[in-house]
Chains A and B, each alone.
Chain A
Amino acid sequence: MSAGLNPPVTAARRRLSDRQKDLIQTFAALGSLVALVAAFSLTSGAFLSLGNGMSIGLQVTSIALLGIGATVVIIAGGIDLSVGSVLALAGVVAALCVKELGLPVPLAMLAGIGVGGVCGLVNGLVVTRLKLPPFIATLGMMLIARGLALQLTGARAVSGLGEAFGELGNGALLRLVRVGEDGFPEVLFPGIPYPVLLMAVIALAVAFGLRRSVLGRHVYAVGSNAEAARLSGVAVGRVVTLTYVLSGLLAGLTGCVLMSRLVTAQPNEGVMYELDAIASAVIGGTSLAGGVGTISGTVIGAFVIGILRNGLNMNGVSAFTQQIIIGLVILLTVWIDQLRNRR
């Protein structure tokens, strides 16, 4: 037992390793992201191109937007399984508003987002008023919203929506195009896609709100100890409901973005997306027990998932193997996170 004979040395060594451990874990998600990018750049020449970066960005947007909602819900101690279905319903409603009611596109999309918000409100009320467990409440909504989307469209895709409907999903800010000598347009700078821009703005806004606002503080308090929060005068029911509304609104927005990209509304869009959303939050350090989590972590988590998918695709890894790998990554990151919380 050298530990007993030489305490100062052991203590010093321990402190150092403790600090290192903390450092490693703080950057675990970010580090694995960098490692992934490096590995894929080596194995696939096309990975590190501007075009691919753009498509990763777009892929990540939907995971991140849903993930932000999932993070807030989970921090407050809940879970939202309905977002994949809600996004389909929202997209379908937006498309039908354009096609059947002839509403202008922005208004139609607001209606779609609004539908998402209403679904979230229902989730929130079922959880806080009827006191159903969040898992059950949102599982119900998952089936209901999907059923509604299929019903409204007769299970068929809604197409022929016009160019304006595709603007949100395919347009970009600061896109520089020059008409070349041969008469064909030449893209000088592809610009920042609107979805990516939206994601960045929303991520910053929600992160700021969680960190700095009274409401954000209440979200953490409710997830950490709902009873203590209630006895401190926090309107627990209202806070919880709001988290589901936010998740619903973001699902609605994601639905509009996705359908706009395809310029077609698919009632079958977004199946299992809720799991990607939850996974991105968990990889980013959000604890399913509530009370812990950050938006920056979730965005990193979304990138980890998006880049894994994209890179594995480019390397010709089959979809089945991809699932296995992503499953392992989730287990690994959560395990590392648990290590940090041990003694």
Chain B
Amino acid sequence: MLDGADDAAASGGLATGAPEGTSPLLALSGIAKEFPGVRALSGVDFDLRRGEVHAVCGENGAGKSTLMKIISGVQAPSAGRIVYKGVERRFASPLEAEAAGIAMIHQELNLVAHLTVAENIFLGREPRRGFLVDRRALRDGARACLDRLGAGIDPDTLVRDLSVAQCQLVEIAKALSLKAELLIMDEPTSSLTEQEARRLFQVIRDLKAAGAGIVYISHRLDEMREIVDRVTVLRDGRHVSTDAFAAVTLDAIVARMVGRALDEKFPERTSVPTGHVILEAAGLTRAGAFRDVSFTLRRGEILGFAGLMGAGRTEVARAIFGADPLEAGSLAIEGRSLTIRDPRDAIAAGIAYLSEDRKAQGLAVKMPVDANLTLANLGAVANRLGLIDAGRHAAAAQGFVDRLEIRTPSLGQPVRLLSGGNQQKIIIGKWLFRDAKVMLFDEPTRGIDVGAKLAIYTIMDRLAARGIGVVLISSELPEILGMTDRVAVFHRGRLVRILDTARTDQEEIMHYASGFGTA
């Protein structure tokens, strides 16, 4: 089953002019793509039928996004054939592909921050009346798409005021508004909560029933059960297998992705929380975001923040880190109270925050891998005059590239050219280098493959074992349950309840997260 290039499935559709019903919607053969110093894809075959959801799985950097960008005209293949609806095509731009009925939801968010949600959804295709934009049609059209996803987002909000999850919903709405026959979804659910994801699956089932073909990429393998018909695995830019989803197990898929069997999803916890309080937050408040949030974090503890979208978890973490102002409340580290005006104060006090939005807040994407890894702690590789020691700088960066298995052709590669998951690993590396006392991880495994997730969980556990206090903000409940000691559940800006992880379950967490039990 682990066959190579001459996959049987791909051969069917190449005969041009075959009747529509039998030929696949899309057939790729021998697709290759080379970037300077990187062979992202070599000879990949792939096909998609009408009315099916075809999942593509693979590790970070396996070439999934690149393959999708080739289909949707964002990038040109170095070699290979693309047959769409029985005709050999090569789309020179995303616009051409869109005109042919192909839409793509990109892994990275690509919205214009200072336009409204509605304007973003119809960017470049605004409904018109004469020369003018028909504002009403614009708003109504946007609302229809958003309602379909159950996203309670006002079409007139500016995108810069949205959270990451809301941005992702807008991206999905935008793709839906294109009414495409072939829809590519590159990690659409990476920052959605389960409920939002479930709404999306319903939409996907509807589209499927209407005859659309959907390519689905996700590192949340569990959710595939809900929608996927066939699954293709890529490894190192090569096609490994294509099977009916019902015919394979998730474990088998993971084994093919990683090239070996992964027994555990979570590491054995070695750390034990001590009695020592390292961070104490009392009455944290900012109007419109969160109110009266109090909790303690102990040395060696992993504390989860659970809640629905917009519950205020990220806002609390950012305020503790000084990224946003705090209106009331007090913070103390190791018993000493702190005034934090900006992130520099927080970092000096030993707090680190790994932001959820890597492109906007986490990375200087034009800068190379090594410069990003050392950015938060340049002092450690510089001499007293403020000059960077090239040797120590490179050694430190290489250390994290090796330890986190960051896939990059060199330390000098600009970060924007790395795959999404590898970019995420760089943010983690940056803060590991800083050596903090309290680390706030905001959706740290977003877009990260199973193998790397395990590596990151292991790192978190080691950090806790070294006496660091860890906060894990996550929308994936299994992750919260698998990794934390206690869970703080948020609802609408309030910390509703702190639960003992060992004595709780998904139902109880969801119960409080949905607002039951609030006074």
Contact = CB atoms under 8 A, between A and B. Distances in A.
Contact of B43 (A1, A7, A18, A225): A7
A234 interface: yes
Contacts of B76: 343
**Most chain B CB neighbours (cut-off 10 Å) among A214, A227, A343:** A214
Given A3-B80, A11-B78, A214-B387, 11 more contacts: A4-B29, A7-B80, A10-B78, A212-B390, A214-B379, A218-B378, A224-B366, A225-B364, A227-B361, A229-B364, A229-B375
A327 B371 CA distance: 35
11 contacts: A4-B79, A18-B36, A22-B36, A213-B387, A217-B375, A221-B364, A225-B366, A231-B355, A232-B375, A291-B366, A291-B367
A230 interface: yes
Interface of A: 1, 3-4, 6-7, 10-11, 14-15, 18-19, 22, 212-215, 217-218, 220-221, 224-225, 227-235, 291-292, 343
Contacts of A224: 364-367
A68 to B, nearest CB: 19
Interface in B130-158: none
B344 A233 contact: yes
B362 A228 contact: yes
B379 A3 contact: no
A74 to B, nearest CB: 13
Contacts of A220: 364, 367, 371
B363 A228 contact: yes
B379 A1 contact: no
Main secondary structure of the interface of B (DSSP, over half): mixed
Interface residues of B, number: 42
B343 A231 contact: yes
A227 B321 CA distance: 13
Contact of B375 (A19, A234, A343): A234
Main secondary structure of the interface of A (DSSP, over half): helix
A230 B430 CA distance: 14
Interface in B337-359: 342-344, 347-348, 353, 355
Contacts of A3: 79-80
Contact of B387 (A212, A231, A291): A212
A232 B360 contact: no
B78 A14 contact: yes
Contact of B386 (A4, A215, A292): A215
Contacts of A233: 343-344, 347-348, 376
B378 A1 contact: no
B80 A214 contact: no
B365 A1 contact: no
**Most chain B CB neighbours (cut-off 10 Å) among A221, A231, A291:** A231
Interface in B421-469: 430
B320 to A, nearest CB: 13
B434 to A, nearest CB: 8
Contacts of A19: 36
**Most chain A CB neighbours (cut-off 10 Å) among B347, B353, B361, B364:** B364
Contacts of B79: 3-4, 6-7, 10-11
B323 A231 contact: yes
B386 A213 contact: yes
Interface string B14-52: 000000000000000110101010000001000000000
B34 A14 contact: yes
Interface string B363-404: 111110001000110110010001110100000000000000
A231 B34 contact: no
B413 interface: no
